[in-house]
Amino acid sequence: MKQPVVPRPAATISIVRDTADGFEVLMMQRSMAADFMPGAYVFPGGG
């Protein structure tokens, strides 16, 4: 059995703007080579 992972501090920022077509939210796509959630759309940030 693996040892539990120790949490580390992290942060996230949400950038939102109002446009004529509605709100837009800045998101990023994780690399397809990432071990955790490859290709997922996420908010920018991290630890």
Q: Looking at residue 31, what is its pLDDT?
A: 96
Evaluated on CA atoms 20, 26, 30, 36, the torsion sign reads negative
Classify residue 15 by its DSSP letter.
-
Token pair listed for 31 = 């690399």
Q: Taking the model in full, what pTM does it have?
A: 0.59
- Count the domains in the chain: 1
| pLDDT tens track, the chain, 47 positions | 899 999 988 888 889 999 999 999 999 999 999 999 999 999 887 65
Residue 7 located in a structural domain: no
Helices then strands, counting H and E runs in the chain, come out as: 0, 6
Q: Looking at residue 10, what is its pLDDT?
A: 83
Which residue range(s) make up the domain with 18? 13-32+40-46
Residue 1 located in a structural domain: no
Residue 22 located in a structural domain: yes
